[in-house]
Homo-oligomer: A and B are copies of this chain.
Amino acid sequence: MIESSTRVYAVIGDPIEHSLSPALQNWLIRRFDLDAVYVAFRVIPDRLKACVDGIRALGLAGINVTVPHKQAVIAHVDRVSPEVERLGAANTLVPGAEGIEAHVTDPVGFLESLSGERERFRGAAVVLLGAGGAAQSVSYVLGRLGVAQLTLTDLESGRAERLADLAQRSFGLPRVTAMEAGSDSLSERLARADVIINATPVGMSPHTERSPIGESGLLHSKQLVYDLIYNPATTRLLADAAARGAAVKNGLDMLIEQGVASLRLWTGKPLRLGARERGQLRSYLQERL
């Protein structure tokens, strides 16, 4: 029941019409019994400043920020969290008495999504496909998980090298190497990897026939293959990995845990989902893809 007292949360981005965030957050709002509602606003880049000023004027209680505003929004807020400072991107605005503080929930979302799988990462060899914003947050968490060796690759020239440098310098990762996509040395790393993570958009709907790695023969049953994509729920990469007996995971749990993290920031309450509830929410979202 929406009343005058109901707090309003929103996601801003462009495009926004396919965002799962309203479905996700309103499910969580019901689950946690909050007097709140979550809506989506399409905001074009030219109007980002007016939008942030409007958020203050209207007294919105919390904002998620998505493409293309994750970097640009930082210029318009009053404070940033240490992780935003480090990663250079924000996806959650927390309005408060001292103005708007920008946070980023990618790291906590990735970390919390791992649940019982965290032990796999200690001392592991990891191949991370992609070196953009999502890959940067993943690398940051990999450092905290005690990964032994990280191999990075990206189709955009120079990006993997830059992230490799940052990861080694700032994220506490001991051995980080950038490799060329499709190279023999990368194939070797893939075959030997304990964990393969896809942080590229390759395989995302509507181009669902594509995989970010050429040969599925490199995948095997001792690996965890984690695709940050959640639409489709089973990408070509995950289907190939499952066929080869690997453990697989898609991006829905990370999306869910980022949503819970936003609500913790906005409410100040220690909100958590149990495993069974997370499964229910996952099914609910999967039906809406």
- A contact set with B: CB distance below 8 Å: 1-6, 8, 10, 12, 16-23, 26, 37-43, 47-48, 50-51, 53-60
Residue in B17, B22, B41 whose CB lies within 8 Å of A2: B22
Chain B residues whose CB sits within 8 angstroms of the CB of A57 once the complex forms = 43, 47-48, 50-51, 54
Residue in B21, B50, B59 whose CB lies within 8 Å of A53: B50
* Bound: A8/B38 CA distance, A: 10
Instruction: Known A54-B54, A56-B47, A57-B51; judge A23-B39 contact (CB<8 A).
Output: no
Task: Let me know if B5 and A39 touch, CB within 8 A.
Answer: no
Chain B residues whose CB sits within 8 angstroms of the CB of A50 once the complex forms = 50, 53-54, 56-57
* Bound: A54/B21 CA distance, A: 21
> Which chain B residue lies CB-closest to A42?
B59
> Which 7 A-B residue pairings sit nearest by Cβ, starting from the closest?
A54-B54, A47-B57, A51-B57, A50-B57, A4-B40, A41-B58, A4-B19
Residue in B39, B51, B59 whose CB lies within 8 Å of A8: B39
Chain B residues whose CB sits within 8 angstroms of the CB of A58 once the complex forms = 10, 12, 41, 43, 51, 54-55, 58
Give the shortest distance, in Å, between A37 (CB) and chain B (any CB).
6
Instruction: Known A12-B58, A58-B12; judge A6-B53 contact (CB<8 A).
Output: no
Give the shortest distance, in Å, between A137 (CB) and chain B (any CB).
23
> Which chain B residue lies CB-closest to A55?
B54
Chain B residues whose CB sits within 8 angstroms of the CB of A16 once the complex forms = 4
* Bound: A43/B57 CA distance, A: 6
Chain B residues whose CB sits within 8 angstroms of the CB of A38 once the complex forms = 2
> Which chain B residue lies CB-closest to A29?
B2
Give the shortest distance, in Å, between A13 (CB) and chain B (any CB).
9
Instruction: Known A54-B51, A54-B53; judge A41-B59 contact (CB<8 A).
Output: yes
Chain B residues whose CB sits within 8 angstroms of the CB of A56 once the complex forms = 47, 50
